[in-house]
Structure 1
């Protein structure tokens, strides 16, 4: 049976001439139903009830959803309170006051269903009863969809549904467990309601992930849940960013805050789960791209949020499990663009790891691992202490250090990173003791200072890969050689020793040989995203001194020797950080200014792109709010002048919900963009938005701006942004050097600190 209704609000009900207010009616029935002679009304929407009754209605767009539901209940003679019902579209999306007008205009078919609060209470009751496996599975399948809605979630939580869902997770398996975990994952997109999750629940999720037999559709939501818990640390709570920048102490949080977990809480349960990290890292090689992506995202989240107290233990475990090697394999095997952003995030995170190691001081008394490494280095040399001509003990100088203060030798510039590199160099070369013996057989002035060369190589590679500060990475391509840092260091150190011998160098030639190695490293490590590893090995192992020297001389004719001096390199590192932060702020300002995009068509499950459809509202204006928490937007059939502020932008996306910024994963609708080469940034894995930027500049602004905005991001995706950072750095450096070169000031290659004061009877004068 079909009926046609017209739903109007009080202010807009039409009145014919001579009709009194008392005879107004909110319902106009077409002649197709009445048999009367009225002009038929064109149906706008079709509404289907739970009993299968279908009615055609014309809904006034100024009505609220409550008004529409109430009038439908009256006209359909439904005796239950209207508050028990709601409207959904064919995809089960809840109709709200925000989207009602759009659904009316696009003539969406609607359904009159249980209100979210009522549906939530019934769902919680079904979880509690668990009558049979089929009913439970269907209940969870529905729950995972509806739990995203705030009205449903609030009622579900108030009905003690969360504890019932947790009980299911502890006992379910297969698809039932997958649905339950997905429901929990979707619930955790809210910033409330799951603060009662305890260590037992976290350990249960860890155990699920630790099992190699767990299904892929189970592992995906379980991984996402752990990632969310890692990121829910007190320092990430809304409104605590300013406090966090000035103090490392955790802020005081209100009761019931979900920001009570974090890395330490999750890591404690990870340590109990047998083989957890090993299993997660092994899934990076999964044939299922989404599984590899989720695993990569969890590792990145752990790296970005690792606490100071557990940092060394966690990084050591990752290194032991060869996570870098797994990511390098992923670089060469992945075919889906979604993984690119994850891998670039990993690179940026490991630049932070490398920088932290480089700036961590070696302390053999306070850190047992440092003492063990130092002892292993000395034992591998197979040397015995001796005495020099002045009667002083010689031990570390025999290996090529400048002094016997082993901690000072590393802490002067390379820290724990230098210690680890020297130890790895020794482990990779079983003939290390022979190398040292060979050098000691030469006259003192002709000996290659192997240990000093190792530290210099660490400095050189740190400069090459811009390891200047935590949180800054301008690489837009894969860097597999960087992830093989120790191996590259070993090759370059061997090259240094060989060049020292082939050039007949003496002690005073250290800087010259170091410059030679620096020149060769630029050649060997060029285009690392496409060069095979065997070519790198060839460049370091096979190139002869004469050819390297000739090329270096040509380079010196073009380059300024001033730029290679250590103080200038340090100045460049400082300016690089300032330039990166400047560009970051500029990109975020672009987001706050807002821009128009095209609503793209995402790829379907088969990987093809449906370019035959065109959205009814192909244009979208997006703007970041001043609090940096939401992307506000509006969809439109055409561009219009958007006012400042957020009044014209009714919809929004939470920035915290953006886990990835992928590119090249969607297509433009037909006849919207002329330039089919425009690049679309999207937000997977469950896409929050698929947008196409109108030009390369706006694509760079937004793709990199969003990446820089994410706490676990930090990398850039476009060559434009990377180029801006580099250009600002070089311009700033040249301006600074003009002040010195114009005055003909001599810049030394290094600075030697004088002896410490004999007492504390001194003060620093303020120079005016």
Structure 2
């Protein structure tokens, strides 16, 4: 439409005939988002005519009028319509349409206008304009007239019309953003001041009306594509909200904080004699002769480190207090039972419930990357690919309270399963962090919350430890590199030495060997061998039968000097192979038929090897002990799978002990600054001592 047609257009919009008005405003909605056209329209008095249509018309005429104003505001023009003494009447009319009008096309337009109105920043207005024209304050008088407004907006999140559903969610986002911004006037007010609590009241009201459940269901549905942008914005605003709660310091001078702490104490079912006489900060005061001394472990029995609980919320803030009080409120019986079970346990050995709750709060906080989102970032999603819903959307974030409770129950379970003590707190917390990562982190977008809660309660604790070891190894290998290789080599050498001592000890104790019938021409089927105390000779003798007491060295006349051994040949390592180990530590494989396990000890005579002694172990374990014991005595490497498995087991066990003594975050930090640097002795004299 040409700008020259605007006078005629305005004339038809002001006509007494509805058909004429409907056609005129229908054409207007397709041209009004052209800034040059809009400028002429406004300067010609068009806002007054458009306002009159919105206030008085109905049906399609009203729908087209609302759409026209929506498009005008989208190009950041026409804000004057909300100025002056009649502005509140217009806002109330639009709120009334949302409350009372069932037509979808009218509802969509009305909500879109309110999205713009609430989201219009005060910084865009001139100082001469009346404060409070925009934001939620602009809606407050109308909402007072129609108190069911917010409830009905949330109900529209269940609408089958996706555009209406999206508009409703955009309006909710605008309300939350306005509340969180703290712009209750031209000046920003801190959320920790008395006036700044408006944002928390608004959020609580929205939650009480079922907002979280409605958006959670939408986020798990198959209709995400049409709602992707407002849904992602809501998810980010949820993170900003959590961040805001955490930034609020717990202060016993504030009524709601003091009340929350008192509810924790009362829910713990304290002795009635200790209920009276507590002060505002949780300490006891004598109020008269009838007062009784307060429990000296009033707060520590709940799992706090001291009798000043407020100070222990420094990291988690009011978010941590909210999580703990919500858990206790929902699971009061279990909370009391847990405290009662631990009452007979020394204080330092009890499960610290309050500290565990705070740990789970921070684990979830870090898991969802709450600190990585701020209020300004929640606007910039227009360039993001919205097709990968599984990566973008985390509906479990909206179930924060139930996740916290399940995570805390998981903490209790891991604590008991590992028989943890107070000094093990950080290690249990690391296992719970891995539990959250495995269950919550790997849950699909559509996975039911009940399944997630069950998985948190049933996840195998030994499996958690295996995952912890794997993660620690990976992180250490990446960040510590050569340091870890060196540690592993040191531990392997220690394990090799340990296993050598064990194998040689078997030889020193002596063992019985049974000669096979085909090899028994002497009628003496049993052979006993034993290493001398100085480890220089292998003594042996043949017997008709095993004796009740093992023979001593003095009864074993035959002996082999270890320094005369040239090789040890055996078929212990594999059933179809004969492995020959020479003094040069070379390994030769010779195919042989499967036969009785034997160990042949050779010596070199005239350039050729001949057998000095043959042993027939009665078990694979005995064969492994003697074969590898002999090889290790000769300075050679063990070859049997059983011995090598034992070496790896001992080595890995040592590595696990060292890794378990390091927190997960330390693994990612790498060596501390200055590690390995030899201090300079510049400017030092010889007047020093070593502190041992």
TM class, shorter-chain normalised?
Answer: 0.5 to 0.7
Aligned CA distance change for structure 1 residues 360 and 561 (closer, same or farther; 3 Å): farther
**SS of equivalent residue, structure 2 residue 370:** coil
The alignment status of 1:383 with 2:270, answered yes or no, reads yes
Alpha carbons 2:13, 2:21 under 8 Å: kept: yes
Partners of 1:120 and 1:153 within 8 A in 2 = no
* Structure-to-structure mapping, 1:462-473, within 5 angstroms: 462-471=365-374
Q: 1:735 to 1:423 in 2, by over 3 A?
A: closer
Residue among 270, 273, 286 paired with 2:159: 286
Cα distance, 1:286 vs structure 2: 1.2
Deviations 1:214-263 (A, max 9, x none): 3110111111111111222223x3xxxxxxxxxxxxxx836679996234
Deviation at 1:188, TM superposition (A): 1.6
Between Structure 1 and Structure 2, the one with more helix by share is: 2
Aligned pairs for 1:55-134 within 5 A? 94=1, 115-117=2-4, 119-128=5-14, 130-134=15-19
- From 462, 469, 472, the equivalent of 1:553 is 469
Q: Is the 8 A contact 2:32 2:68 kept in 1?
A: yes
Q: What is the match of residue 422 of structure 1?
A: 324
Aligned 1:181-260 pairs, distance under 5 A: 181-197=66-82, 198-211=87-100, 213-235=101-123, 237=124, 253=126
User: Is 1:277–2:150 an aligned residue pair?
Assistant: yes
Secondary structure of the structure 2 residue equivalent to 1:156:
helix
1:140 alignment partner, SS class: helix
3-state SS, counterpart of residue 38 of structure 2: helix
Q: Rg larger in 1 or in 2?
A: 2
Conserved in 2, the CA contact under 8 Å of 1:328 and 1:480? yes
SS at match of 1:365: coil
Query: What is aligned with 2:299?
Result: 396
- Counterpart-to-counterpart distance in 2, 1:743 and 1:303: 52
Match of 1:459 among 338, 342, 362: 362
1:505 counterpart residue number: 420
Q: Conserved in 2, the CA contact under 8 Å of 1:361 and 1:415?
A: yes
- How much does 1:116 deviate? 1.9
In the alignment, the residues of structure 2 paired with residue 174 and residue 148 of structure 1 have an alpha-carbon distance, to the nearest angstrom, of 22
C-alpha contact 1:520 1:540 (8 A) present in aligned 2: yes
Tell me how far 1:277 sits from its aligned partner: 1.9
Change (3 A) 1:476 1:345: farther
Match of 2:244 among 350, 356, 380: 356
Instruction: Provide Cα deviations, 1:608-647, integer angstroms capped at 9, x if missing partner.
Output: xxxxxxxxxxxxxxxxxxxxxxxxxxxxxxxxxxxxxxxx
- The Cα of 1:734 is off from its aligned counterpart by 9.9
What residue is the counterpart of 1:723 in the other structure?
A: none
Match of 1:537 in 2: 453
1:521 maps to: 436
The CA deviation at 1:458 is: 0.6
CA RMSD of aligned residues (A): 3.3
| TM-score relative to the length of structure 2 | 0.59
The answer on 1:371 being equivalent to 2:258 is yes
Q: Is the 8 A contact 1:192 1:257 kept in 2?
A: no
Distance 2:669 2:439 in 1: 31
How far apart are the structure 2 equivalents of 1:508 and 1:299? Answer: 46
- 1:346 corresponding residue in structure 2: 234
Alignment gaps of 5+ in structure 1: 1-93, 95-114, 238-251, 564-731, 746-768
Deviation at residue 176 of structure 1 after TM alignment? 2.2
Provide the rounded CA distance (Å) in 2 between the counterparts of 1:561 and 1:429.
42
Q: For residue 126 of structure 2, give the secondary structure of its aligned residue in structure 1.
A: coil
Q: Is the CA contact 1:181–1:222 (under 8 Å) kept in the aligned structure 2?
A: yes
Distance 1:741 1:520 in 2: 34
The offset of 1:459, in angstroms, is 0.8
Greater CA deviation, 264-273 or 732-741? 732-741
Give the distance between the partners of 1:406 and 1:300, measured in 2 at CA: 35
Once the 2 structures are TM-superposed, how far is the Cα of residue 291 of structure 1 from its aligned partner? 1.0
Match of 1:742 among 645, 652, 675: 675
Aligned residue for 2:406? 491
Residue 406 of structure 1 is matched in structure 2 by: 309
The 1-side partners of 2:144 and 2:367 are apart by: 36
Q: Which residue pairs with 1:312 in the alignment?
A: 200
CA distance in 1, matches of 2:227, 2:132: 28
The equivalent position to 1:264 in structure 2, one of 137, 148, 168, is: 137
8 Å contact from structure 1 (residues 344, 477) kept in 2: yes
Contact 1:207–1:273 (CA under 8 A) maintained in structure 2: yes
Quote the offset at 1:495 in angstroms.
Answer: 1.2
Deviation of the 1:403 alpha carbon: 1.6
Residue 356 of structure 1 contacts residue 470 of structure 1 at CA under 8 Å; is this kept in 2? no
2:623 maps to which residue?
none
**Aligned residue among 50, 53, 62 for 1:177:** 62
Q: Closer, same or farther in 2 for the Cα pair 1:523/1:120, shift >3 Å?
A: same
**Secondary structure at the counterpart of residue 141 of structure 1:** helix
Shift in Å, 1:540: 1.5
CA displacement at 1:342 relative to structure 2 = 2.1
Distance 1:369 1:265, change over 3 A: farther
Unaligned stretches of 5+ residues in structure 2: 183-195, 276-282, 285-292, 379-383, 385-389, 480-664, 679-692
Shift of 1:479: 0.4
Match of 1:146 in 2: 31
Whole-angstrom distance in 2 between the partners of 1:508 and 1:561: 27
Give the superposition deviation at 1:183: 1.5
CA contact (8 A) 1:230 1:305 kept: yes
Deviation at 1:500, TM superposition (A): 1.6
Q: Give the match for residue 669 of structure 1.
A: none
Q: CA deviation at 1:460?
A: 0.8
Kept after mapping to 1: 8 A contact 2:232/2:392: yes
- 158 and 428 in structure 1: CA distance in 2 versus 1, 3 angstrom threshold: same
Contact 1:232 1:259 in 2 (8 A): no
Q: 1:195 is paired with a residue of what secondary structure? A: helix
2:487 maps to which residue?
none
Distance verdict in 2 for CA 1:142–1:438, change over 3 Å: same
How far the C-alpha of 1:493 sits from its partner, in A, is 0.4
Tell me, in whole angstroms, the C-alpha distance in 1 between the residues paired with 2:131 and 2:3: 23
Q: Quote the Cα distance in structure 2 between the aligned partners of 1:402 and 1:501.
A: 20
Paired residues, number: 443
After the TM superposition, which residues 675-754 of structure 1 pair with which residues of structure 2 at under 5 Å, given as runs? Answer: 737=670, 740=673, 742-743=675-676
The 3-state SS of whatever aligns with 1:454 is helix
Q: Summarize deviations over 1:94-137 as a string: whole Å, max 9, x none.
A: 5xxxxxxxxxxxxxxxxxxxx424x3223333333x41322222
Tell me, yes or no, if the aligned pair for 1:377 and 1:426 is still in contact at 8 Å. Answer: yes
CA contact (8 A) 2:135 2:178 kept: yes
